[in-house]
Amino acid sequence: MYNEKLKVSSDIVAKAAREALERRGVTINDIAEIVYEMQYPYNNGLTINHCVVSVERVLNKREVQHALLVGIELDELAEKRMLSQPLQQLIESDESLFGVDETLAIGSVLTYGSIAVTTYGHLDKKKTGIIQQLDSKTGQGVHTFLDDLVGSIAASASSRLAHRIRDLEEAGESIVGRDKI
């Protein structure tokens, strides 16, 4: 049962999620580059800064923070060989039929709708940008969850941008010359 006395403040959770990403060597810019790659064909005037802002907004979502904390913790515990068997081996080997890493990632993109879901699927196949590095780091740490989490943040930030840009267009405005959208 939920214990009110053990409530964790949102600031602590948000900070821990960002620190976890940083500790695992993933920067906001790394994720923004994937977002740019996904969205620039559709949006004239899109800048990397627009993508950074969108990633920041996605990282403010509790659902995303929680997914990051759970997934990164499991990767780290697997690296330290602290999980019980057979889970240890499933995560450490990045067993292709495991699927819980993808399920967690998909769960966290649902807030951002169908564009986020389809973009996540695309990134999962193509392994764009830093996702490729994380996915192929065999023997240098466990990133079973991290590659999917990075894909999910990039997919959510892409979907957010697509919707925001349409809103601007319909208001007779444009992203050109705007810092934040």
Instruction: Candidates 30, 33, 75, 148: give the one binding Mg ion (CB under 5 A).
Output: 148
- Tell me how long the chain is: 181
Instruction: Candidates 30, 33, 75, 101: give the one binding Mg ion (CB under 5 A).
Output: 101
38, 50, 58: which is closest to 176 by C-alpha?
50
Q: Does 75 bind Mg ion (CB under 5 A)?
A: no
DSSP state of 141: -
Structural contact between residues 130 and 29, judged by C-beta atoms closer than 8 angstroms: no
Nearer to Mg ion by C-beta: 33 or 101? 101
Q: Does 124 bind Mg ion (CB under 5 A)?
A: no
Nearer to Mg ion by C-beta: 33 or 148? 148
Residue 60 main-chain phi, psi, to 5 deg = -80, -10
Q: How far is the CB of 91 from Mg ion (least distance, A)?
A: 9
Structural contact between residues 151 and 123, judged by C-beta atoms closer than 8 angstroms: yes
Nearer to Mg ion by C-beta: 6 or 97? 97
Nearer to Mg ion by C-beta: 144 or 158? 144
Residue nearest to Mg ion (CB): 101
Size of the site for Mg ion (CB under 5 A): 4
Q: Cα dihedral angle (142, 104, 60, 161), rounded to 10 degrees?
A: 100
Q: Which one of the spans 64-72, 74-82, 85-93, 100-108 is the region binding Mg ion (CB under 5 A)? A: 100-108
Q: Which residues bind Mg ion (CB under 5 A)?
A: 101, 144, 147-148
